[in-house]
Amino acid sequence: MSDEVLLRATDVVKSFTSRGKKLGARSLNTAVNGVSLEVKRGETLGIVGESGCGKSTLARCLVQLIPVTSGSVEFNGVELVGLSRRELRPHRREMQLVFQDPYASLNPRRTVGDIVADPMRINKMAGEREILERVRDLFVTVGLDPASVHRYPHEFSGGQRQRIGIARSLSLNPSLVVADEPVSALDVSVQAQVLNLMADLQDQLHLTYLFIAHDLGVVRHVSDRVGVMYLGEIVELGDAEALYQAPMHPYTEALLSVVPELNDTDAPRRERILISGDVPDPSDRPTGCSFHPRCPAATDICQREAPAFVELKPGRFVACHHPRNVDE
Ligand SMILES: Nc1ncnc2c1ncn2[C@@H]1O[C@H](COP(=O)(O)OP(=O)(O)OP(=O)(O)O)[C@@H](O)[C@H]1O
Ligand SMILES: [Mg+2]
């Protein structure tokens, strides 16, 4: 990993307006509420959080698949927010998304060879012969039989489909791959194969990853650094090992306490911390700290004031009035 910042997001906000329950009422759903993060060239930054906390929306904003409501996204030192579609094109090529659902994200009416070839055709990357050759190479790279390029997505298993999705994401030689829960839909045994493949590809092709998951166990194995997301905000971010050893945000602490494999014999014993209730509706955000209604450590100030996201230790950012493990 280098210190060079490949992607820098500053105060990214994404709101959706939707019709409210009352007739004619409109509500504002702020799915991403002021996220700032940096991804360094060559690293894997993991992002974890419960369902609905805004992970996919953040991913889409970062790769400019949807426009941000406000904030800045710099890629390779270039501000992307405000660029026209045409100006964006060369940068979009460099940043590719692997989708959450390998069943829904592949067009059922195109052969898998075409699915992988299409981005190259659209970008006029080479002549058709060369493109078809590269498709076969990409199939080999992701561990699929190049003879299967003429088949259709439904003829493949979930794990194979996710390999096709990965091959497609690599077709334009990106430097950044944003993987949105790439293994959540897969069986545990297949998950490991796909994760190993992604690790090998990272080494071979010098890729930078933003890896999204709702499972802290998965993220730990693949990430250099981890950001924990709650209700559209990153509440803690830091070096993966340090964060797992000594979480500082009560939400991180609670999430970690219920991951079985992190609490086996050689790990320090943790008490299970149950967080009550669900993630609140982002259109009805609590006052002060968004986590306070579910937080075991909450006091009056948490209800009144949103905590700032500050660097409490070198490289460790936390948004909490009562951080844990400050002295460790
Ligand atoms: N296109 C959209 N229009 C309106 N609301 C949306 C849209 N996309 C997402 N949202 C809302 O934004 C919030 C965050 O959704 P998002 O899909 O980003 O969460 P997530 O963390 O990826 O969840 P999951 O783990 O289930 O994939 C949700 O409240 C969702 O309803
Ligand atoms: Mg999602």
* Structure confidence by residue, pLDDT tens digits, 153-212: 999 999 999 999 999 999 999 999 999 999 888 888 888 999 999 999 999 999 999 999
Strands 316-318 and 233-239: antiparallel
Which ligand ends up closest to the CA of 99? 2
Q: In this predicted structure, what is the pLDDT of residue 188? A: 85
Which pLDDT score, from 0 to 100, does residue 259 have?
A: 75
Q: Of ligand 1's atoms, which has the minimum distance to the CA of residue 283?
A: 29
Q: What is the pLDDT of residue 40?
A: 97
Euclidean distance between the first and the last CA atom of the chain, given in angstroms as a whole number: 25
Give the integer Cα–Cα distance in Å for 122 and 118: 6
Residue 81 one-letter amino acid? V
State the distance from the centre of ligand 2 to the C-alpha of 35, rounded, in angstroms.
16
**Ligand 2 midpoint to CA 305 (Å):** 28
Question: Which conformational region is residue 143 in: left (phi greater than 0), alpha (psi within -120 to 50 degrees), or beta?
Answer: left
- Residue whose Cα lies nearest atom 31 of ligand 1: it is 52
Q: Angle 188-205/158-170 helices, nearest 10 degrees? A: 20
- What pLDDT is stored for residue 27 in this prediction? 80
Give the pLDDT of residue 220: 86
The segments of the chain whose pLDDT lies below 70 read: 1, 20-25, 260-270
**What is the CA(118)–ligand 2 centre distance, in A?**
24
Residues 6+ apart with CB under 8 A from 122: none
Atom of ligand 1 nearest to the CA of 54: 18
CA–centroid distance, 315 to ligand 1, in Å, is 29
d(C-alpha 231, C-alpha 182), whole Å: 21
Looking at the CA of 32, which ligand is closest?
1
The H-or-E segment that residue 120 falls in is helix 112-122
pLDDT reported for residue 261: 64
d(CA 46, CA 239): 10
Rg (CA), the chain: 21
Residue 263 is predicted with a pLDDT of 56
Global pTM exceeds 0.95: no
pLDDT at residue number 328? 73
Ligand 1 first shell, C-beta below 6 A: 16, 18, 29, 31, 49, 51-57, 100, 214, 282
Separation of 132 CA from ligand 2 center, angstroms?
32
Q: Which residues is 79 bridged to in the sheet?
A: 74
Q: Ligand 2 mean position to 182 CA, how many Å?
A: 10
Q: Which of 50, 55, 281 best tests ligand 1's pocket when mutated (most atoms within 8 Å of CB)?
A: 55
Extended beta strands in the chain, E state: 5-19, 26-40, 44-48, 70-75, 78-79, 95-98, 176-180, 208-213, 225-230, 233-239, 310-313, 316-318
Residue 82 has what pLDDT? 95
Tokens of 52: 């609905």
pLDDT of residue 270: 65
